[in-house]
A and B are shown apart, each in its own frame.
Chain A
Amino acid sequence: MKVRVTIDRRGEIADPEGATVQRALQDLGFAEVQEVRMNRVIDLQVDGDDPETVRRRVVEMCRQLLANPVLEDFEVEIIG
């Protein structure tokens, strides 16, 4: 089963790289860009037949390793 984990740095935590990209977009003329967040996507190929079990296991992976609870939120999505 293919699982996509999206890891977002929480809004109150600075994202210096996102801020640089935002400025570059504004320099290009995209003045409407208010904020850029350089979030991360991790795709996993996981053995298992039951989507709920797979999802629960991947959430546990996020809690133990893939996301940093101090900075980040995560979402788990079965994509195939």
Chain B
Amino acid sequence: MRVAVAVFPGSNCERDVARALRSLGADPELVWHRETDLTGFDGVVLPGGFAHGDALRTGAIAALSPIMEPVRRMAEAGRPVLGICNGFQILCETGLLPGALIANRDLAFICRFVEVEVMDTNSVLTAAAEPGQVLRIPLNSYEGNWVDPSRTGRVVARYRDDPNGSQDQAAAVANETGNVVGIMPHPERASDPLLGSDDGLVLLEGFVRSLRSVPA
């Protein structure tokens, strides 16, 4: 199960997510954002960070990177596509997920553990979790406030409190078919007891399982 982990100028979570995916039996590979061909990969992760220094809007410049064309094709083919934090912002800017991420309600960079509750297990991120399962995962973002005027996004995990004003307290949002998911907190930063929590593993496990079940 080969997973491409896209690397944009300013990404900073690519190694963490690759390590976590490897610990779950996947074969992750870092791929520079200028790449135009993702043939042979079963899925793709857009990791967290500050691509292009968040110029203009978070994710706006990265959404135009050459790699987003094969990412779009993978999404359309039903393959698993996961965006974490900045990756979620990029997926929204690309239009692969509905809505957009704006500044947190209290205009503060939030950097702490939050509790998220799994609402819907029909997505590549939540496939291995139980409905109602509560996970303790770090949230590290300024633009984490998801707004979706179209109200077409499917909230697959929500915050138990309301840290940032996100619509419907959405922490993770899926497209209609559940193969494209964005999550604002960082499951890879809760992937080992040494980090204070390994609650993120069940989410990444769902993603790795989904890689297996997609037809080639």
Chain A contacts to B: CB under 8 angstroms: 10, 12-14, 16-17, 20, 65-66, 68, 70-71
Contacts and interface: CB of A to CB of B under 8 A. Distances in A.
B60 A68 contact: yes
B106 interface: yes
Contacts of B92: 70
B38 interface: no
Contacts, number: 41
- Chain A contact residues, majority secondary structure: loop
B149 A66 contact: no
Contacts of A68: 57, 60, 93, 100
Given A65-B60, A66-B56, A13 B149 contact: yes
B104 interface: yes
Interface in B162-185: 165
B39 to A, nearest CB: 27
A12 B150 CA distance: 12
B12 to A, nearest CB: 23
B30 interface: no
B147 interface: yes
